Amino acid sequence: MQLNRLNDNPILKPTANWWEIQATFNPGAIIFQGKVVLLYRAIGGDGLSRFGLAKSVDGFTFERFEDPIFEAELTNQYERLGVEDPRIVQIEDTYYITYTAASVYEAITYRQQKFAPSLNHPAPWRVRPSLITTKDFQTFERKGIILDVDTKDVTLFPEKINGRFALLHRIYPHMYLTFSTDLKNWQDEQILVDPKEGFWDSERVGAGAPPIKTEKGWLLFYHGVDKQHIYRLGVLLLDLNDPTKVLYQGPEPILEPVETYEKEGLTPNVVFTCGAVELNDQYYVYYGGADKVIGSAVIGKEEILSNLP
């Protein structure tokens, strides 16, 4: 199985708008009122990340807005370096958007703490998973931090499972799964996926787009990183009623950095997804290329499901 890039890639690039002049990447995606909505991360001239909004009827030609749609609160200590990597799910009539609130610890106080290795900045990052909700993608209600721990790649499942919210996240280097009835108190946390030594996801693994419900199970486009710090995308299949059971993990990546816009940017050799939608019997996977631009790649629904157990 392989994702096929759109010929028009990259579909979104930085603009002259000051808040997205450096990068536009890692979009969450959802179908809203018959259109594909991308809530994408943008980096401006001040180096901070905000969220922009773009809409499309066909899935690849997008109308974008001149101003950001959501940004950090200036008085919020956890967001002083911006908001990053939104992931969107719809549960009943509400859209739940998880994102990373970015800041750093006081360097002296926390100098002995262990942090995930970073290619560019071995800084004492403080990354808290946060939540906002919306019903119209115009106004957003802040729910605050939902896990008081340094973790990234956070996404909810698009429905409750056995009466509980299910949440994927990554405490380096593992992908975790945990459950809650109120989005505040979490139970039954466990490691769902480990890095695999000698494979394309040997250094770290994390959720990508939110899980997609299929007749075979929860389909998850996830990312893995190898020891050379190359980001690729792969496929997981989880049991519908018990997502702690991994039914399938693809042995090979389905997308890896090949094109110039995936190999050269703010972070080289990266394809990284936060959102995928089903449209016209295809899965459109939207991804950040080299932390700089947004690309899209597709695969037929029947093609991918026929290759799953």
Distance between CA atoms of residues 282 and 150, nearest Å: 35
Q: What are phi and psi of 19, to 5 degrees?
A: -80, -10
Q: Which amino acid is at 26?
A: N
If we measure between CA atoms, which residue out of 39, 237, 15 comes closest to residue 137?
Answer: 39
The average confidence (pLDDT) of the chain is 95
Instruction: Note down the domain range covering 39.
Output: 4-306
Q: Tell me the per-residue pLDDT of 153-190, one tens digit each, with 9 for 90 and over.
A: 999 999 999 999 999 999 999 999 999 999 999 999 99
pTM, entire model: 0.95
If we measure between CA atoms, which residue out of 203, 251, 193, 197 comes closest to residue 227?
Answer: 203
Query: Looking up tokens 């799964």, which residue turns up?
Result: 177
The CATH number given to whatever domain includes residue 145 is 2.115.10.20
The mean pLDDT of 9-22, rounded to a whole number, is: 98
Q: Tell me the per-residue pLDDT of 110-166, one tens digit each, with 9 for 90 and over.
A: 555 555 555 555 578 899 999 999 999 999 999 999 999 999 999 999 999 999 999
Calculate the alpha carbon distances from 71 to 28, 102, 139 in Å.
Answer: 15, 12, 12
| Peptide bond between residue 173 and the one before it cis (omega within 30 degrees of 0) | yes
Polymer length of the chain: 309
Instruction: Return the pLDDT at 110.
Output: 58
- 294 and 12 Cβ atoms separated by less than 8 Å: yes
- 87 and 98 Cβ atoms separated by less than 8 Å: yes
Two tokens at 292? 């700089």
Q: Tell me the per-residue pLDDT of 193-246, one tens digit each, with 9 for 90 and over.
A: 999 999 999 999 999 999 999 999 999 999 999 999 999 999 999 999 999 999
Instruction: Return the pLDDT at 156.
Output: 98
Domain count, the chain: 1
- The residues with which 117 forms a beta bridge, in sequence order, are none
Q: Which amino acid is at 189?
A: E
